[in-house]
């Protein structure tokens, strides 16, 4: 089996992720912050270590500003709904996932916000001057994905953050695709809010994610409940991370995420990026040689976080993905990938695309087998 669906979730994870989660489960997993006994304290320490490790990865100085969530979707909902108010104008890109667009459209309906989606070229690339021109007096937030989950296009995050900062507008980065192989620096990129999944490029388990909020920015709680703090009060504590971390945390998951982040630190984020680039480059070149193939991703290390998006002319994406799975044991994903406007942008609204998303553990041999499979599929197509 060749797993090329790493943009959905990375598989496999580093061995240390599995083994430390299992050790946490078996040796010490109590409820962190909910008791003074030895296991609760050890669990709390494990969570604190993970907070520190992730803050190191994202260059966040105050570890208390990072909260854990169950996935990036929860993080994005907390940040978007906890920040935006009636009448606010938000600017975003055409390559956003439904985890950004659906909360925005819900707020548009429920409280009345204004949404501007930036124009882009056929790869989804935006123009910073266009972004700056779009800022109005009621613009309070700019949201961008780090890179597209459909074609891997990398956004000019540092430039977006700089423009937002210059105009006094908050910048929310959705790092769902790219965190773990593209450096994310909260300071250098002027990131005011960050949402990330644990189970994709950060190599942690499913069920993990998190968010960061710059000090001074107030986010209203989306989920209220027990925090192990201010226990005598019916009201949510107003400080980070407790305000955004109600209920029992996923301690074993967070331990796994911490190990994923440590793995990345040990291997080196640039080495992971280079490895993924080489795989994407080879797959791109192989696919370019097949005349029936249309490519929607860019073969450029600085413009692609690790995805090859393609179609065979006149063949349904789902059919190609199905054959790759059944006949070749190659796992890809076909369809809209929960990002409808990306497909409007790429002119693949009618067809969707087949997505090949590489990860740390894919090999050149796997890519070569995939190219061979694509060639064979091409040879069977009759026009």
Region 331-360 residues binding its own copies, contact defined as CB under 8 A: 331-340, 343, 349
Contact mark string toward its own copies, 183..202, x via CB under 8 A: --------------x-x---
Nearest CA-CA partner of 348 in 317, 308, 383, 304: 317
Distance in Å, CB of 291 to its own copies, minimum:
26
Helix H or strand E segment including 99: helix 98-110
Q: Compute the distance between CA of residue 322 and CA of residue 329 in angstroms, rounded to an integer.
A: 10
Give the residue with the Cβ less far from its own copies, 24 or 190. Answer: 24
Instruction: Indicate which single residue of 251, 345, 348, 370 sits in contact with its own copies (rule: CB under 8 A).
Output: 251
Nearest CA-CA partner of 60 in 143, 145, 179, 224: 179
Q: Compute the distance between CA of residue 118 and CA of residue 17 in angstroms, rounded to an integer.
A: 39
Among residue numbers 81 through 110, which ones bind its own copies (CB under 8 A)? 97-99, 101-103, 105-106
Number of chain positions touching its own copies (CB under 8 A):
88
Nearest CA-CA partner of 124 in 97, 106, 102: 97
Give the residue with the Cβ less far from its own copies, 162 or 322. Answer: 322
Among residue numbers 27 through 86, which ones bind its own copies (CB under 8 A)? 29-31, 34-40, 69-74, 76-77
Q: Compute the distance between CA of residue 138 and CA of residue 120 in angstroms, rounded to an integer.
A: 23
Specify the stretch interacting with its own copies by CB under 8 A; choose among 159-167, 181-189, 225-233, 293-301: 225-233
Distance in Å, CB of 329 to its own copies, minimum:
7
Q: Does 16 interact with its own copies (rule: CB under 8 A)?
A: no
User: What are 206's two structure tokens?
Assistant: 């499913």
Give the residue with the Cβ less far from its own copies, 161 or 352. Answer: 352
Q: State how far the alpha carbon of 97 is from the alpha carbons of 136, 263, 285, 314, 357, in Å.
A: 24, 27, 27, 26, 16
Instruction: Indicate which single residue of 168, 216, 235, 291 sits in contact with its own copies (rule: CB under 8 A).
Output: 235
Distance in Å, CB of 28 to its own copies, minimum:
8
Distance in Å, CB of 14 to its own copies, minimum:
11
Distance in Å, CB of 109 to its own copies, minimum:
8
Q: Does 306 interact with its own copies (rule: CB under 8 A)?
A: no
Distance in Å, CB of 132 to its own copies, minimum:
25
Q: State how far the alpha carbon of 288 is from the alpha carbons of 291, 296, 320, 334, 342, in Å.
A: 7, 11, 16, 19, 21
Among residue numbers 112 through 171, which ones bind its own copies (CB under 8 A)? none
Instruction: Indicate which single residue of 232, 365, 382, 383 sits in contact with its own copies (rule: CB under 8 A).
Output: 232
Give the residue with the Cβ less far from its own copies, 40 or 65. Answer: 40
Give the residue with the Cβ less far from its own copies, 162 or 340. Answer: 340
∠ CA 53-56-58, nearest 5°, is 115
Q: State how far the alpha carbon of 106 is from the alpha carbons of 42, 54, 58, 114, in Å.
A: 40, 30, 29, 11
Give the residue with the Cβ less far from its own copies, 97 or 273. Answer: 97
Strands 170-174 and 209-213: unpaired
What is the DSSP secondary structure assignment for residue 27, as one 8-state letter?
Answer: I
Q: Does 362 interact with its own copies (rule: CB under 8 A)?
A: no
Nearest CA-CA partner of 11 in 280, 274, 204: 204
């Amino acid at each position: 089996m060749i797993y090329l669906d790493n943009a959905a979730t990375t598989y496999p994870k580093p061995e240390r992720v599995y083994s430390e989660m299992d050790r946490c489960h078996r040796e010490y997993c109590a409820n962190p912050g909910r008791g003074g006994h030895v296991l609760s304290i050890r669990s709390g320490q494990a969570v604190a270590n993970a907070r520190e490790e992730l803050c190191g990865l994202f260059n966040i100085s105050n570890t208390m500003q990072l909260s854990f969530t169950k996935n990036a979707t929860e993080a994005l909902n907390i940040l978007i709904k906890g920040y935006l108010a009636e009448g606010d104008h938000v600017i975003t890109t055409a390559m956003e996932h439904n985890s950004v667009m659906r909360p925005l459209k819900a707020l548009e309906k429920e409280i009345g916000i204004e949404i501007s989606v930036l124009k882009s070229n056929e790869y989804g690339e935006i123009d910073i001057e266009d972004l700056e021109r779009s800022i109005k007096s009621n613009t309070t937030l700019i949201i961008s994905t780090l890179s597209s989950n459909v074609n891997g296009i990398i956004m000019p995050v540092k430039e977006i953050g700089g423009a937002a900062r210059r105009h006094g507008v908050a910048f929310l980065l959705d790092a769902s695709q790219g965190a773990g192989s593209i450096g994310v620096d909260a300071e250098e990129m002027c990131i005011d809010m960050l949402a990330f999944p644990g189970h994709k490029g950060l190599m942690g388990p499913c069920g993990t994610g998190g968010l960061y909020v710059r000090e001074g920015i107030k986010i209203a709680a989306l989920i209220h409940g027990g925090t192990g703090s201010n226990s005598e009060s019916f009201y949510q504590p107003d400080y980070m991370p407790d305000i955004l971390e109600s209920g029992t945390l996923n301690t074993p998951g967070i331990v796994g995420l911490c190990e994923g982040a440590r793995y990345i630190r040990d291997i080196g984020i640039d080495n992971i990026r280079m490895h993924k680039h080489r795989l994407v480059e080879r797959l791109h070149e192989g696919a370019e040689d097949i005349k029936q193939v249309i490519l929607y991703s860019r073969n450029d290390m600085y413009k692609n976080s690790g995805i090859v998006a393609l179609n065979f002319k006149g063949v349904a994406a789902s059919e190609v993905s199905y054959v790759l799975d059944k006949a070749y044991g190659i796992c890809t994903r076909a369809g809209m990938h929960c990002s409808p406007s990306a497909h409007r942008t790429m002119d693949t609204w009618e067809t969707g695309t087949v997505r090949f998303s590489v990860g740390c553990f894919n090999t050149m041999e796997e890519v070569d087998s995939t190219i061979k499979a694509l060639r064979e599929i091409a040879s069977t197509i009759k026009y």
